[in-house]
Every structure is written in structure tokens, then in C-alpha cells.
Structure 1
């Protein structure tokens, strides 16, 4: 069991050791690391966790307080007796160092602790010109995050927070992961920010205020150029497509999305239609039936033994009936990552883009290979996925991962 940071500090203070006195090992072997500039030593310590950095304080009196000057603090509430002790430690740290990176994981360890205690102290950290700020809350108690204006913040990652107010004009990366995210208010944000969205909602369907929740959330990002959407959020988008349509992302040029092999064929056109100027698309196709993958892979090695869907043309029919604007005007690069299965979904997706994207320059299909094996007849596998191309400039390739 590892020592808590507070226990480590206390043990050092109570020990009667003279840390300034070199050990016999130090007398025999010159300590070259300690001769480095303090700023360089702190940079080296920044690659360690906070716990590991604290342990270096036993090396000598020179190292005793160096960990406090490391520009990164990573904490887990489970390392402290209770939330009050954790908050107190965070507050004390504010007085000894201005950090660039702060990460806090509020663990789920029973109802005796109150996660709301962190709300006030987290706001104070942002005022210290933090560049990287991450909060993960694994409690039923959701923490509302209201960040004061922060010119320095470049990376923000929030997990299981109930709401958030952002005034971050220089933000470069934003990650929102939550099972019940209710509201997001962006006062200012750079259009060049990269956004990762993995949210879900436990909606109260009788509550009219929640009918537009996904539209209101995504409308905050209508001017960004790079976005990643999880399969969880895509399912929500599809389920609410009639009452909660997607906003237009007119400036979005790069989209990363994850979808299931069993996803409705209506989903992809819905998403693409909201991105009229999309140039790059990375589509990760997932299969959650792990135990069936090996048998499907065995069947793939002999293509004539493929067991296709009952209506393999159904996917192509529904997809081809709806041609989003980006498909016929702007989309140039598509990457599809897919496991090897006996379903025709991936094949239809490939043919959908090859047959309809008029500006497509390159389509890459990356197939997952199990146990490092590859098919003996590579050309035949590529032929299985290939189809006539709408764009005469399009290059199609299959890569085995």
C-alpha cells in the first residue's frame, strides 16, 4: 500500500534524520542529478506522479521541497482521510506554488463524503493561470464548475460534472465526459479548439425544458473546426432526431466519430448533413460482441464463406437516398477503422463514400487483425470492399492493424 502524500510529508517532518548528511552511497558515487539546475530537476520530476515526486524528497535536504516546485499536481481523493483533508491540502498548495497542470480524481468511496466541497477551491485554481485542468468526479453528487475568466487555460477535461460555465478564450482542447450533463454556457472560446464529446442524459420526457438539451449543448460548438463524438452521444442524437435536431456546424472541417456495426443506416447521413463543409472524416466502427470476432475473422480468410446480412443492399439503399452537402462538395479524406466481421456494414460504408463523394481524394480502410494474422489473398480482400468511384482522383487502400 503506497503512502499518502500527507503521510509522507509528516513522516519526513517527524523523522530525526539529518537529510543534509550524505549517505555512504552518496560519498562513493557522485550525485550528478543534484548538480543539475533546479528548473531542470523540476522538469524531470514533472514526468512522475505527485506521489512519486514526493518520495524523492527523502534523497537529501536539497530534494526535500523540490516536489512542491513541480509545475504539475495530480491528486486522488482516496489518498486522503476525507474530502475536508483533500480540500485543505489543495488550498495549502496554492500558497507555495503556481502550477501549470492540475488533475483531481474524486473517487466514489461512500456517502460520508461531500463532493460539493470542491466547488469553491477548484475555482481558485483557475485563477492561478493553469494551462491544463482536469476534474473527474465518480460520485452521485455532481459538481457545477463555474470557471472565472482564464486567459491561460489551454486544456480542460471534465468528467461527471453537472454543469459548466466557460470563459476560456485561448482554450485548445475541451473534453466533456458525463452521464447526466445538464448545461454548458460558453462566454468565450477559441474557434480553433478541439472538442471531445462523450455525454448522455437521463431525460425526463415530460419535462419540456429537456427536449432541446442536446441541441443546446452542441450549439456551443457551431463555430469550431475539429470535433470528436462518441458512440454514446451518437445514439442519443439518433434517438432525439425528431424533437432535437442537430445544429449546423458550418465551420467544422474535421470530424472523428465512433459508431456500432449495428447502428441505424440513417445515423451517418444525419450527422454528415449537419457538417456542410466537412473535409476530413475518421469513422471508428466498433463491435461489442468480442467472442464472435475470431470466428468472423476465420470466415474472412475465405471470402466465399462470408455470411452476409439478410438484406445487404438495404444499408446502401438507405444511405444513397440521402446525399449530404459535404459528400458532394467538400469531403476529401475518409478513414474507416473496423474490426473484421461477417456483417456487411463496413463494406456498405466504404462503397457509400466511394460511390457518392465527388471530391474524395483518399479513403483508407484500417481493418483490425487478431493474433497478428493477415489474409493470404490481400488483393481479393481489397476487391471485396472496392467499388466504382465517383471521384476520379480518389485513392483507396486497405491497411491491416
Structure 2
């Protein structure tokens, strides 16, 4: 019969295990302790400094810091307090490689932000994100930035970029991105972009430009993402030219009346073009010229995605479609439609002799009752290379059924077609069954048709 443990012995046993557990954690290798801290938020990691003497400075060895104001009630003093706190903690840490700083939506003292950035750069930070959370915040890049040889990635979110120090240079910076940033000083903007000798990835998201006219050459640039609002640039007072001779990837989502131009960029292999957010009235000629100019840079593209508004822009340039380059390397094309005109698509397909995959969004808008689709004018890729076709936003309309029939009859090597139904069609069982029967009646031959449903 097992002996009974007295309450006194039980208390001693519990104390023993508690002490033993404490000793076990304290004796863990530092690598494991750092791993434990890395799973915590920065705020939680800093708080572990009160646990024991050994934990007091462990957090200062972490390579990643994420400072955000998590307080549910933000007052007018909290931004400056947070900046002071971050500045103090940065002076205590010595191994930071990645730093994320987010400040509340208020006007932050520019001098303190500059001091904080200087502290960050003292630690040879590789990856820095500064989110001021306010389009009214103004800041100046500190002079210490010109001495930052370790920074490889820089993200700036929100605020006015008023000044950039003379002689600024980021010798190691490869990724640079701006979001909701307003550029107000032409010389500073020119100085900043010219001070990135190895830059490979540049992006702008909803940025603003005030009286800016700059032209920069970035021969090392491989990837460019542009997303400008309709009011981002004043067409009459701003111009932004980027000379990127080795550019490989382009995502361009902008008002075509904005004077943002690519120069010598003819090596692009992947492009996503969305010429939206614009008012066409009285600008048809400018839109047409810009669209043709932009597409003249895409002769080497292998993958191309076009929005419905991009197709509309090219429609304004119908008389100049012959100026479009031959897409001799294009193998993948994705096109959105909300207009029945298909002359632009027909012209692009005729200039794409190696196309293997075609994805059409909004097929119900695509009219095939046109001389562009006669048997004598079919693109050569229909006979020699096109093997797969997807149709999205499929509603089962008569026009879409005709589109499927046309492709099955005219694309010789077609092996697979994926049709993605809208949520509305997927929920209408009778309509869906009728569509399925119509598709089966077409006689698919060697082509496999996959009908995909969506319940949203």
C-alpha cells in the first residue's frame, strides 16, 4: 500500500518543483532563450527583463524589433513618448537587423524621429520600416543616413518627405518602397533616387508629388511597382522619368494622364498594366499616346496582365494599334473585359506567336461577332502554340457559351479549359445544370473542360 504524503511534504515537493523549474529555464542555452524571446512581441520581450538578472539584457540581443503603439487609448503625448522609448531601447540594443516602427496618427516631432532613425542606423540595421500613420507628418532623413552601409531594405509609410541630406548614398540598398508619402522637394527627391547605386526593387503606393520634375537612371533596377492615385501628380506641373535599362518586372497601376515615363526599359519579362483611375473626357488623344508609348516597352514580355480599363485605353488608340510591338516571347496573357470590343485583344493575339496560356475575365462582355475573328484572320498562336485557356467570372450567358464554342473549334492544340463560375451561377443549381449540358453538347474532343464553383 502506497504511503500517504503528508501536507507538509506535499508543500515541500511543490516548492522543490518550482525551484527546479526556475533553475531549468535559467540554465537553458542562450540560443534557446533567444528563440523563446523571438516568439514574443517586442513589448513582451522587453518585459522579460524583470524576471531575473539573467533575463535583464537578453532582449537587447534580438535581431528583430517591432515597435507599435498597442495602447487602445492614444493621447496627444503618446507619439513623442513612444519615440523617446524606442530611442532609449535602441541605445541599449546592439544586434538589430530588422526594425519596424509604427507611430500613431498625430503630428510627430520631426527632430525626434530623425534622432530615432540615427539611433537605428548605429546598429547596422539591414531592414527598416517607418510607418508614421499620418499623411500630415513631416520628417527629414538624418545626415547619418548618408553613412548607412548596412541598409538593404527601406520602407517609408505616410508623411511628407521634405529634405534629404547632401551626399546621401545607400551603397547596399536593394529594396526601396514608399506608401502614402508626399514628395515636396524636387532636389531632395532627385538626390534620394540617385543615391541608390545597387537598387533592384522600387515601389510607390498612393504617393503624391508636388511640383516635382525629376529624371533618374537606375541601371540595376529589376522590379518596379507603381500605384498612383488620379491626383498623385498634377499633369501640368509634374513629370517623373525612370531610366531602367535592365528592368525585368513592371506593375503599373496609374492614371494614364500622369506624366510618369519609362526610358530604355525594353527588357521587361513580366508586366501587370492597369491604366485606371482616370477621366477620359477631353483626354482621349493623350491617353492613346501614353498607352502606345508604354506598350512599346513590352516587346520582350513573357507574362502580361491587362485590366479592363487598359483595354479601354488601347481602344482609344485603335488607329495606332499597328505601332504595338510584336510580343515574340509572350507565353501567358491575362485580360479583363467590361466592354464588348475585341479588336485590341485580336491585335495582341496576332502579335503573340508563342502564346501558350490565355486567361479571360468577364467573357460575357467579349463579342465575337466581328471581322476580327474570321477564319482568315485568326492569330497564328491558335494553330501553333495555345494549349490552355481559363475563363473567370463565368455566368453562363449566351455570349460566354459562344466564346467557349469558338475556342474549342478554332484552337487546334487546346488541351485544357478551366471555367470559374460566379457565386451567383454556382448557387443556381438548375441554371448550372443547363450550362453543364450546353458545354457537353459542344463536343470537346481532346480538350478537358473543368468547371469550378464559387459560393461567394
| TM > 0.5 | yes
* CA–CA distance in structure 2, aligned partners of residues 168 and 382 of structure 1: 52
Q: 2:178·2:205 contact (CA, 8 Å) conserved in 1?
A: yes
| Structure 1 residues 349-376: Cα deviation after superposition (integer angstroms, max 9, x where no partner) | 3233223222222111111225973625
Tell me whether 1:129 sits opposite 2:129 in the alignment. no
Q: 1:166·1:188 contact (CA, 8 Å) conserved in 2?
A: no
| SS class of match (1:221) | coil
Tell me whether 1:400 sits opposite 2:427 in the alignment. no
Correspondence for 1:18:
none
Tell me whether 1:258 sits opposite 2:336 in the alignment. yes
Correspondence for 1:71:
98
* CA–CA distance in structure 2, aligned partners of residues 74 and 274 of structure 1: 48
After TM superposition, the structure 1 = structure 2 runs for residues 41-60 of structure 1, keeping only pairs within 5 Å, are 53=42, 56-60=45-49
Correspondence for 2:353:
276
Q: 2:388·2:414 contact (CA, 8 Å) conserved in 1?
A: yes
* CA–CA distance in structure 1, aligned partners of residues 280 and 184 of structure 2: 17
Correspondence for 1:297:
none
* 1:29 shift after superposition: 9.2
Tell me whether 1:195 sits opposite 2:253 in the alignment. no
| Structure 1 residues 96-124: Cα deviation after superposition (integer angstroms, max 9, x where no partner) | 23325757687544999995626848x96
Q: 1:315·1:348 contact (CA, 8 Å) conserved in 2?
A: no
Tell me whether 1:346 sits opposite 2:400 in the alignment. yes
* 1:339 shift after superposition: 4.7
Tell me whether 1:176 sits opposite 2:226 in the alignment. yes
Cα 1:141–1:129 change in 2 (3 A) is closer
Normalising by structure 1, we get a TM-score of 0.63
* 1:347 shift after superposition: 2.8
| SS class of match (1:397) | strand
* CA–CA distance in structure 1, aligned partners of residues 273 and 26 of structure 2: 47
Cα 1:381–1:178 change in 2 (3 A) is same
| SS class of match (1:272) | helix
* 1:317 shift after superposition: 1.5
| SS class of match (2:204) | strand
Q: 1:363·1:397 contact (CA, 8 Å) conserved in 2?
A: yes
Q: Structure 2: which 5+ residue stretches go unaligned? A: 1-18, 50-56, 66-95, 141-157, 234-239, 249-266
Q: 2:268·2:301 contact (CA, 8 Å) conserved in 1?
A: yes
* 1:233 shift after superposition: 2.7
| SS class of match (2:58) | coil
Which structure has more relative contact order (CA 8 Å, sep 6+)? It is 1
Cα 1:88–1:111 change in 2 (3 A) is closer
Q: How many residues align?
A: 339
* CA–CA distance in structure 2, aligned partners of residues 317 and 325 of structure 1: 20
Cα 1:40–1:216 change in 2 (3 A) is farther
Q: 1:71·1:99 contact (CA, 8 Å) conserved in 2?
A: yes
| SS class of match (1:359) | coil
* CA–CA distance in structure 2, aligned partners of residues 215 and 351 of structure 1: 32
RMSD, aligned α-carbons? 4.9
Within the candidate set 211, 218, 233, 1:167 is matched to 218
Q: 2:303·2:331 contact (CA, 8 Å) conserved in 1?
A: yes
Correspondence for 2:418:
364
| SS class of match (1:63) | helix
